[in-house]
Amino acid sequence: MHSHHHVHAHPHGSHHENKSLMVVALAINVALLAIGVAGWIAFDSVALLADAGHVLSDVGAIALGVFAATVAARPPTAKRTFGYARTEILAALANGVLLVAVAVLVFVEAIGRLNGSPDVGGGGVLAVGLIGLAGNAVATAVLQRGDREDINLEGVLRHSAADALGSLGVIVAGAVVLATGWDQADAVAGMLIGVLVLLGSWRLISEPVNVLMEGAPPGVNANEVGEAMARVEGVREVHDLHVWTVTSGFPALAAHVIVEPAHDPDEVRRRVEAVLKERFGIEHTTLQAMAERLLELEDRLPGNR
C-alpha cells in the first residue's frame, strides 16, 4: 500500500499586496463617510443617508478584510494544519450579511419618505454625490489591482463598486431635486441604492456557505474529476472521492485509487496528480494508491473476513 500526502501551502504571495491595497481603500472610505454624514445632516437627504450607511458598511468590511488577511497569513500549526486561511471566508460571509442588513435599513427609511419627503438640498446632494463618485472610483481602481481570486479582496471590491453606483444614484437624485423640486426623487434613489447593495451580497453569502459546507470548487464537477482519474493508465477503480475548497483559490482532493496489478502504484499516482493539476487546477491532493493484488491479499486476512 502506498499512501501519499501532497502538501501545498496556500499561496499568500499576493495577499500582502491585497492587504496594502485594502488599507488605501479604507482610508478613502473613512474620508467619504465623514463627508457623507456631514451632507446627510446638512441637506436632509435619504439618498445621502443610504450612501453613508453603505460607506459605513464598507469601512467595517475593509477593516474586517485587513484583519482577515493578517490572520490568514499566519502559518499552519499542529492544531490548525491548514493555518487560518478560512478566516477570509468567514470575513466574506460577514460582509455579505452586513450588506443585506444595510439594504433593509435603506428600504425602511426610503419607503417612509415616499409619502412626504422634507425639503432636500438638491445642490448639496449633487455636490456630495460627485465627491463620493470620485472617491469610490479611486478606491475601486486601487482594489482592482489586487488578486481577484481572493474572495476577501473581492468582497471589499464589490462593496466599493456598489458604492460607486450608489454615488451615481445620489448625483441623479440631487440633479432631479435641483431641476424639478421633486423631493421624492431622493427617496427613490435611496431605494435603488438599496437594491444595488442587496444584489452585491449574493456571491459574498453563497460562495462562503459552499466552502463551509465542503462543496466542490466553483466550476469543478466531482463526477468529471472521478471519470478523468479512472481513465488514467493503470487505474482500475477510484472510490471515496472528495473534492472541496479550503479557502478561495485553494481546492483540495482526497481519494482511494485501485491500481492494475501490472503497474507501479507510485507511478500511477504521479500520473493522476498530473491530470488533476493540468485539467482541474487541483494541486493539493491526498491519494491512496493501492495495487489490486495487495487489496485482494488484505481481504483474505482473518481480521478482514
Query: Residue 6: beta bridge partners?
Result: 285
25 & 40 share domain: yes
Where is the domain boundary, 178, 212, 246? 212
Rounded to 10 deg, the angle between the 265-280 and 222-230 helix axes is 140
- 292 pLDDT band, cuts 50/70/90, is low
Do 225 and 206 sit in the same domain of this protein? no
pLDDT at 116: 67
Residue 121: the pLDDT is: 82
Give the integer Cα–Cα distance in Å for 99 and 112.
20
Pairwise CA distance, residues 157 & 153, whole Å: 6
Same domain, 192 and 285: no
Helices vs. strands in the chain: H and E counts, helices first = 10, 4
- CA-to-CA distance for 14 and 106, rounded, in angstroms? 35
pLDDT(12) > 50: no
Q: Is residue 2 part of a domain?
A: no
Of residues 8 and 46, the one with the higher pLDDT is 46
Q: Where are the alpha helices (DSSP H) in 44-86?
A: 46-72
Cβ within 8 Å of residue 50, ≥6 positions away? 106, 109, 110, 166, 189, 190, 193, 194
Residue 154 pLDDT: 73
For helices 151-180 and 13-43, the axis angle rounded to 10 degrees is 20
How far apart (Å, rounded) are the C-alpha atoms in residues 4 and 273? 11
The CATH number for 118's domain is 1.20.1510.10
Would you give the distance in Å from CA 104 to the centre of its chain?
Answer: 21
Q: Are residues 178 and 45 in the same domain?
A: yes
Q: Considering the domain boundaries, does residue 8 fall inside one?
A: no
* Average pLDDT over every residue of 104-131: 82
Range of the domain at 38: 13-212
Which residue has cell 502504484?
265
Q: Same structural domain for residues 30 and 84?
A: yes
Mean pLDDT value of segment 106-122: 77
User: Do the domain assignments include residue 17?
Assistant: yes
Interatomic CA distance for residues 274 and 162, integer angstroms:
41
pLDDT at 303: 53
Among 217, 260, 218, residue whose Cα is nearest residue 272: 260
Q: How confident is the model at residue 255 (pLDDT cuts 50, 70, 90)?
A: very high
Q: Is the pTM of this model over 0.75?
A: no
Give the model confidence (pLDDT) of 56-100 as tens digits. 777 877 777 777 667 766 777 778 777 777 777 887 788 788 878
Q: How far apart (Å, rounded) are the C-alpha atoms in residues 254 and 238?
A: 11
Of 212, 234, 265, the domain-final residue: 212
Quick check: is 30 in a domain?
Answer: yes
The domain total for the chain is: 2
What CATH number is given to the structural domain containing 228? Answer: 3.30.70.1350
For the chain, what's the residue count? 305
Q: What angle do CA 28, 29, 32 make, to 5 degrees?
A: 95
Q: Nearest-5° angle of CA 51, CA 93, CA 29?
A: 30
| Alpha helix positions (H), 44-150 | 46-72, 87-114, 122-143
Looking at the structure, do residues 138 and 245 belong to the same domain, yes or no? no
Same domain, 208 and 219: no
Residue pair 63/47 in contact (Cβ under 8 Å)? The answer is: no
Cell of 182: 421633486
Q: How many CB atoms lie within 10 A of CB 278?
A: 10
Tell me, yes or no, whether 82 and 97 share the same domain: yes
Whether 235 has a pLDDT exceeding 90, the answer reads: yes
Listed residues 212, 243, 264: the one ending a domain: 212
pLDDT at 16: 67
